[in-house]
Amino acid sequence: MEQLVGDLLKRKGLRSTAQRRAVLTALQGHPHSTAADLEARIGADPAAAGGLSRQGLYNVLEDLAKAELVRCIEPAGSPARYELRVGDNHHHLVCRRCGRIEDVDCSVGAAPCLTPEKDLGFAVDEAEITWWGLCAECQKAIGV
């Protein structure tokens, strides 16, 4: 697994450091993780991350986002979240009560959300849509 992550980093023009490999590994199977989530997951095995500090973690996340290996989403009222699902223009559902976040695929074919009524000279290549509501579990908990 670590070799695959290292190869992926190199293909994106990044050095394969222990810190970058640790962050990518910590995100696998844990979409929408906060930096604190990642810090806790990586902290469980500090040797694997080569002594990654909190600032170092943010630097790694920024490098990975710039290389389009991770995507950062920032739902209102929530810390930034990171995921490995990149480049497919998917969207998100967020529960107002518990904060659960789910991925929602964009329309198949041409993504209609990439064609604003007025582009004002922008070359649009991504749209970020967030739907807010209550997840099924929270609806049940409050009797809705």
Q: How far apart are CA 65 and CA 71, in angstroms?
A: 6
Q: Give the residue range(s) of CATH 3.30.1490.190 domains in the chain.
A: 88-142
Q: How far apart are CA 119 and CA 93, in angstroms?
A: 25
pTM of the predicted structure, to 2 decimals = 0.85
The CATH architecture assigned to 88-142 reads 2-Layer Sandwich (3.30)
> Which of residues 38 and 51 earns the better pLDDT score?
38
Stretch 52-70: mean pLDDT, rounded?
95
If you average pLDDT over each of 46-55, 85-94, 117-126, which comes out highest? Answer: 85-94
Average pLDDT, the chain: 89
Cβ(83)–Cβ(32) below 8 Å: yes
* Structure token pair of residue 17: 């450091």
**CATH code for the structural domain at 2-73:** 1.10.10
Give 106's DSSP letter: P
Q: Give the residue range(s) of CATH 1.10.10 domains in the chain.
A: 2-73
Residue 47, pLDDT > 70, answer no
